[in-house]
Chains A and B, each alone.
Chain A
Amino acid sequence: MAIVSRGFHGRRQPSEHRLPPGQYEVRDFPVLSAGPTPRISRDTWEFTIVTETGARHSWSWPQLMALPAEEPLVDLHCVTKWSKFATPWRGVSMDTLLGDVETEADYALVHSYGGYTTNLPVADLLDGQAWIAYGYDGEDLAPEHGGPARLLVPHLYLWKSAKWVRGIQLLLQDEPGFWESAGYHDYGDPWREQRYQGD
């Protein structure tokens, strides 16, 4: 019987990716949860940006699908110390979604179905750094990983990449989100190891 090498096609090259301080590499995709997983129908799904004046910009699922898609290949860094290299996503750039939004706001508070929130500067959502991601590894994004759609901001610790994203509130003043109000760092840069308040 022939022995089929399963390593030939799938073998990864020796990693050229870099690990931020204190992190280790994983090959699986761990799931952390702060609650039960919301089951969101694409029929009623909506993504809304609300500006500091209360102006609302909303996209239904078909409207999101009609926007230009990108396929970022990015490294993920979780504050619980695992990192996963070269993850293949599909989604819409936040540059596209924020393109027509008039705002003076410097801060964003991201809201999720289920009540989760996380905060970050608006600047970190721009310039090709963030996406509303709805596909992973060629498939629809699974609910446990944040489907139908999640924010993807891979240059910050993964808790900033809010699963089950519902909308983004643009604010003139910074407002801490779910983990940021319970000890986690306001910004969360993995390269500066900003895990907890005071880091």
Chain B
Amino acid sequence: MTKPSQHAQDAHDTRPPPRPAPGPFPDELDVPYLDGEYEDGNALAGPLSEIFAVDLTAAEGRCTGCGTTGPIARLHVYGPAPGLVARCPDCGQVVLRLVRGGDAAWLDVRGMVSLRIRIEG
């Protein structure tokens, strides 16, 4: 299920330049990356089904970093430990984090404006 990242130092890299990081180190996001291993957003289906009744992998969200809209399934998912970290495939920003520990799950979706979830009418 794991596939190598294609985006790191690709000559065809069309990602938008990273926004300066807020805080005292504005250059901290302005770095090149080595190839990493990630899964696509379908890897979130199981963990999210523990929390939500509907399958969210087809739901569409908008990245707060670059404005790209796309399904959860398109995100790049790193982990699973210490937690699942889903990043925008276009700008690399963290869109969603899911930590499962003890008797709780922590879900953070601060990198997404909203989720459009199709519901049978």
A residues lining the B interface (CB < 8 Å): 32-40, 48, 50, 56, 79-80, 111-115, 143, 159, 166-167, 169, 179, 181-184, 195-199
* Cβ-defined contact, B28 with A37, below 8 A: no
Q: Is B55 an interface residue (CB 8 A)?
A: no
Say whether B53 faces chain A, with CB atoms less than 8 Å apart.
no
**Which of B21, B35, B81 neighbours the largest number of chain A CB atoms within 10 Å of its CB?**
B81
A182-B33 in contact (CB<8A): no
Give B contacts to A, CB under 8 Å.
5, 7-9, 21, 23-25, 27-29, 31-38, 78-79, 81-83, 85, 87, 92, 94, 97, 99, 101-102, 104-106, 108
Q: Across the interface, do A80 and B102 meet the contact criterion of CB distance under 8 Å?
A: no
Asked if A111 and B28 sit within 8 Å, CB to CB, the answer is yes
- Contact: B108 with A195, CB < 8 Å? no
A195 touches B36 (CB 8 A): no
**Alpha-carbon distance A79/B33, docked complex (angstroms):** 25
Q: Which of B8, B27, B78 contacts A34 (CB 8 A)?
A: B78
Partner of A39, one of B5, B33, B78: B33
Q: Is the CB of A80 within 8 A of B24?
A: no
A47 to nearest B CB, angstroms?
Answer: 10
Q: Are B28 and A114 in contact (CB under 8 A)?
A: yes
Q: Which residues of A contact B32 (CB under 8 A)?
A: 38-39
* Residues of A close to B29: CB separation below 8 A: 114-115
State the CA gap A40–B33 with chains docked (Å): 8
Among residues of A, the one whose C-beta sits closest to the C-beta of B85 is A34
State the CA gap A39–B36 with chains docked (Å): 11
Apart from the given pairs A37-B35, A48-B24, A111-B24, 13 other A-B contacts in the complex at a CB distance below 8 Å: A35-B85, A36-B38, A38-B31, A39-B9, A50-B25, A80-B81, A111-B25, A111-B28, A166-B28, A179-B99, A183-B101, A184-B99, A198-B102
Partner of A115, one of B28, B38, B106: B28
